[in-house]
Chain A
Amino acid sequence: MLQAGSLPWFAAHEFRLQWRDLTVMLTAGAPRRAVAILAVSLVFFTGMHWIASVLIGNWAKAGIEVDTATLAQLTGSGLLFATMSLSQAMESVTRAYYSRADLDLILSSPASARALFIVRTGTIAVTSMLLMAAIMSPFVNMLVVYDGWKWLAIYPVVAAISVFTTALAILITLALFRIAGPKRTRIIAQVLAAIVGAALIVGIQIAVIFSTGTTSNAGAALSGAIMGLAPDVHSWIWTPARAATGDFAAMATTIIVAAAAIILTLALAAPGFARLALAANAIGQTRAATKHAPKFRNASQAQMLRTKEWLLLIRDPWLMSQSLMQLLYLLPPAVLLWLNYGNSGGTLPIVAAIITMAAAQLAGGLAWLTLSGEDAHDLILTAPLRARDMLRAKIEAVLIAIGVIISPFVIAIAFIDLRIALTLFAGVAFATASSVIIQLMFRVRAKRSQFARRQTASRIATLLEAFVSITWAGATGLSVALPLAGPFAALPAVLIVFVVWLLRRKAQLA
């Protein structure tokens, strides 16, 4: 029997909650659903192993030499995972301070807030660890199959990275509390988390564009640039990478550094957790205000609904950052366009594909916010307007926003080549429409604050949206390069959207 309020007691409590969350998410009350999800996951996992085998099989079969190139490659992969892990950890750490769920209950009890913080930090690290391990496992397993057991060492390195990024996330949050105060910390941390998550990929692309003028040979250019700057194979910089190759001393160093980082961070942060959590709680009592009273103008119901959607989006910096994060991915094509303006025939297919992808993803996010994330569902439903008029107004709000964001790119390309601009316009229009249709068919009753969890709430919608976005992006890029072949590439997306429309419409009518 665990002593109530002790560290193990909190850990058991947290594990029980996490486990029940997971069970509910998997089964949704129907145990058969879990079996189906497990079966699909198994197929997906097997498929990922096959892809990993194709990608790294030849390289690994020949026996991987631990030279500077290999260490640079492993370090690059590690950095990529570290940014993802840091992004996720920052989001979770912010939630640990700000989410009220059971915090008020626990903080008002005589139990130790320090123990709770340590357990919640551990949960964040373990969650990040498991996620990263799951993503990497097909590649790690294939390395083990082709080049030996030593590659299993990647797993402890992943664990160390997760622990280290969790510590870093806590330190960043503490620094923000000190610099920006509890009121602004939440939003800054969440925006930072989103930017960190995308920054490495976007940064690499922009760096490559500046050095080569295109992204198509990014890998080669990047490795060339890094190899030019790379230190000697014995440099301490490669310690985590060497640890991943099974070097025991490097492994011990990596684990010790991560453990020290988390222990010191906990020693620093845990005593002040209750104070900061209470300070975060107090911000709910403060009120934001607008400077001017709104003007009452005669407007249609649709105009009112559209204005409301835009106002709510603009006023919520976190939602803005989350949904407009896709725009970060537009930076590389924007730079590419700028550098190659007037002479960019070879780069335009890539630019068109990226813009289409960004438009589709952005449309998916905005469509979820307007169609599902309505904070006053009942109010809208009791208003004297037909359901289809309400949906139309909300969809218009999404389409207009996408139009405003994407049209500068289309217009810029129109000055280079009108046909390509029209192709891009069509690609963006179809991709946006597809994302909106998927969100429309899978719409749920949710709060806007649940936006971050929308992907876990409906995995099917997320997967379909991703697949359709990628397909339309590919089809648009191909259409720019090969006008006759492109449209055929879009057929799977059209087919999927049509099937979704048919099946879900039937389900909704039923």
Chain B
Amino acid sequence: MSDYPLALDIRGLSKSFDKPAVDNLDLQVRQGEFYALLGPNGAGKTTLLRMVAGLLPQDKGDISVCGIDTGTDPVGAKSQVAWVSDEPMVYDRLTPLEYLRFIAGLWHVPAEDAELKAHQLLEWLDLTASANAHCGGFSKGMLQKVALAGALIHDPRLIILDEPLTGLDAGSARLVKNVLKDKVSQGVTIVMTTHILEVAERMAERIGVIAKGRLIAEGTLEELQTRAGRTGSSLEDVFLDLVGQSDLGLEEVAAA
């Protein structure tokens, strides 16, 4: 592991489409930290993470991954990062083993290490029985687990997950959460967006709340509760308070 204290260092990041999607945003995540990024739909979470993963160029600002500036050394930065989105990036006509071999090749993992690791990951993720089946017939949960195996095979220092639990059954979700916890315990940094606030509440060390492209609050659950003046409340209440949606739907329900 590098001695650089920050796995992710974002300064003054901006990106606009028709209107600002990310607006002069600063964010720092420490090595080995589990960071959850929350926000309502269209808040700019995915745009932010896509810029970190090198999928979208920023208009302004700097991103540094484990001390590597993504602007000056994009390839070096990418070699430290794994990106998992809610739509698993898997090829229908490759088997999980072939998929892992392909990713290992792209990330320069030596073949012997990659083969061993691929089998371990598939076993870990309960995919061994399907290791030589084409991914085309897999369920959403299985595809997501294959994608996660792909993200882990090159030992990334920073894993970015955009809604990784969407569409997963309880068993698969539990398995993915365990894998992520294990990675964090090994010093890997995880930045994850999720709409399942309970997951963020249980797993994240720090939580960032983003709205209209800006980081409006950040801290541990207790810090956020204090800030929202809702000590002891659930993250859901705190979050809705922070993004100004706490009364959402109540009037309609009352009227009905």
Across the interface, B105 reaches (CB within 8 A) one of A299, A378, A379, namely: A299
Asked if A378 and B83 sit within 8 Å, CB to CB, the answer is yes
Sort A-B residue pairs by CB-CB distance and give the 4 closest, nearest first.
A304-B105, A287-B137, A384-B79, A296-B115
Q: Which of A282-340 contact B (CB under 8 A)?
A: 284-294, 296-301, 303-305, 307-308, 311-312, 315-316
Chain B residues within an 8 Å CB radius of A304: 101-102, 105-106
Among B97, B101, B115, B131, residue most surrounded by chain A Cβ atoms (within 10 Å): B101
B105 to A315, Cβ gap below 8 A? Answer: no
Q: How far is the CB of A270 from chain B (nearest CB, A)?
A: 30
Are B93 and A315 within 8 A (Cβ)? yes
For A383, list chain B residues within 8 Å (CB).
Answer: 78, 103, 106-107
Which residues of the other chain, B, contact A289 by a CB distance below 8 angstroms? 95, 132-134
Q: Chain B residues near A301: list those with CB within 8 A.
A: 105-106, 108
Q: Is B112 an interface residue (CB 8 A)?
A: yes
Cross-chain contact A384 with B78 (CB below 8 angstroms): yes
User: Quick one: which of B85, B94, B106, B137 contacts A385, CB cutoff 8 A?
Assistant: B106
- With both beta carbons as reference points, the residue of chain B lying nearest to A381 in the complex is identified as B55
- Nearest A residue to B139, CB-CB: A285
A386 to B78, CA, bound (A): 10
- Contact across chains for B75 and A288 when beta carbons are under 8 A apart: no
Chain A min CB distance to B123 (Å): 13
Point out the residues of chain B lying under 8 angstroms from A300, CB to CB: 105
- Complex CA gap A133/B150 in Å reads 51
- Partner of B132 from the list A290, A307, A382, A386 (CB cut-off 8 Å) is A290
Q: Does A375 contact B (CB under 8 A)?
A: yes
Give chain B residues whose Cβ lies under 8 Å from the Cβ of A30: none
Q: How far is B237's CA from A453's CA once the two chains are assembled, in angstroms?
A: 48
The distance from the CB of A461 to the nearest CB of chain B, in whole angstroms, is: 24
Of B91, B108, B138, which contacts A384 at CB under 8 A?
B108
In the assembled complex, how far is the CB of residue B17 from the closest CB belonging to chain A, in whole angstroms?
15
- Please report which residues of chain B, range 110-133, place their CB below 8 angstroms from some CB of chain A when the two chains form the complex: 110-112, 114-115, 118, 130-133
Bound-state CA distance A356–B146 (Å) is 42
A positions within 8 Å CB-CB of B: 284-294, 296-301, 303-305, 307-308, 311-312, 315-316, 375-386
* Interface residues, chain B, with chain A CB atoms under 8 Å away: 53-55, 75-76, 78-79, 81-83, 85, 89-95, 97-98, 101-108, 110-112, 114-115, 118, 130-134, 136-138, 150
Complex CA distance for A375 and B92, rounded to whole angstroms: 8
Measured CA separation A330–B214 after assembly (Å): 60
Provide the bound-state CA to CA distance between A298 and B3, in Å: 30
> Using Cβ atoms and an 8 Å threshold, which residues of chain A touch B133?
287-289
Q: How far is B94's CA from A37's CA once the two chains are assembled, in angstroms?
A: 40
Residue of A296, A376, A384 near B107 (CB, 8 A) is: A384
Q: Are B111 and A308 in contact (CB under 8 A)?
A: no
Are A375's CB and B91's CB within 8 A? Answer: yes
A376-B89, A383-B107 given; A315·B134 CB < 8 A: yes
- Secondary structure dominating the interface of A: loop
User: Looking across the interface, which residue of chain B has its beta carbon closest to that of A301?
Assistant: B106
Residue of A nearest to B147 (CB): A379
A293-B131, A296-B104 known; 17 other A-B pairs, CB under 8 Å?
A: A287-B133, A288-B133, A288-B134, A288-B136, A290-B95, A292-B132, A294-B95, A296-B111, A296-B115, A299-B111, A301-B105, A305-B106, A376-B90, A379-B150, A382-B78, A384-B75, A384-B76
- Inter-chain CA distance A381–B131, complex, in Å, is 25
| A287: B residues at CB distance < 8 A | 130, 133-134, 136-138
Q: Which residues of B contact A311 (CB under 8 A)?
A: 93-94, 98
With contact pairs A287-B133, A288-B136 given, residues A382 and B98 touching in the complex (Cβ less than 8 Å): no
Contacts of A299 in B (CB 8 A): 105, 111
User: How far is the CB of B51 from the nearest CB of chain A, in Å?
Assistant: 12
In the complex, which residue of chain B has the Cβ closest to the Cβ of A390?
Answer: B106
CB A421 to nearest CB in B, in angstroms, measures: 36
- B40–chain A nearest beta-carbon distance, Å: 23
Chain B nearest CB: distance from A5 CB in Å?
A: 30
Q: Which residues of chain A are within 8 angstroms of B94 by Cβ–Cβ distance?
A: 308, 311-312, 315
Pick the contact of A296: B76, B91, B112, B131 (CB < 8 A).
Answer: B112
Which residue of chain B lies nearest to A308 when distances are taken between CB atoms in the complex?
A: B102
Give the distance to chain A from B154, nearest Cβ to Cβ, in Å.
Answer: 9
> Which residues of chain B are within 8 angstroms of A305 by Cβ–Cβ distance?
106
For B114, the chain A residues whose CB sits under 8 A away are 296
Cα–Cα distance between A231 and B56 once the two chains are bound (Å): 68
Partner of A293, one of B54, B55, B97, B110: B97
Question: For B150, what are the chain A residues with a Cβ–Cβ distance below 8 Å?
Answer: 379
The residue in chain B whose Cβ has the minimal distance to the Cβ of A386 is: B75
Distance in angstroms from A286 CB to nearest chain B CB is 6
A378 close to B89 (CB less than 8 A): yes
Contacts of B106 in A (CB 8 A): 301, 304-305, 380, 383-385
| A290–B94 alpha-carbon span in the complex (Å) | 9
Task: Name which residue of chain A comes closest to B52, CB basis.
Answer: A382
15 sample A-B contacts, Cβ–Cβ < 8 Å, listed by A number: A288-B93, A290-B132, A300-B105, A305-B106, A308-B102, A375-B89, A375-B90, A376-B91, A377-B89, A378-B89, A379-B89, A379-B150, A380-B106, A382-B81, A383-B78
Q: A311 to B93, alpha carbons, bound, how many Å? A: 8
Residues of the B chain whose Cβ atoms lie less than 8 Å from the Cβ of A303: 105
Which of A288, A293, A376, A381 has a CB less than 8 Å from the CB of B137? A288
Give the distance to chain B from A315, nearest Cβ to Cβ, in Å.
Answer: 4
- What's the Cα separation between A191 and B256 when bound, in Å? 57
Bound Cα distance from A377 to B138, whole angstroms: 20
Query: Could you say which of A287, A299, A311, A384 has the most chain B C-beta atoms within 10 Å of its C-beta?
Result: A384
Shortest Cβ gap from A376 to chain B (Å) = 4
- Residues from chain A with a CB closer than 8 A to the CB of B108 are 301, 384
- Min CB–CB distance A450 → chain B (angstroms): 13
Decide: A294 near B98, CB < 8 A? Known: A376-B89, A384-B106, A386-B75. Answer: yes
Q: Which residue of B lies closest to A290 (CB)?
A: B132
In angstroms, how far is the closest chain A Cβ from the Cβ of B220?
30
Residues of A within 8 A of B81 (CB): 382
- Whether B91 contacts A312 by the Cβ 8 Å rule is yes
Alpha-carbon distance between A200 and B134 when the two chains are bound, in angstroms: 36
**With A284-B137, A288-B134, A316-B93 as contacts: A379 and B103 at CB distance below 8 Å:** yes
Name the residue on A nearest B93 (C-beta). A315
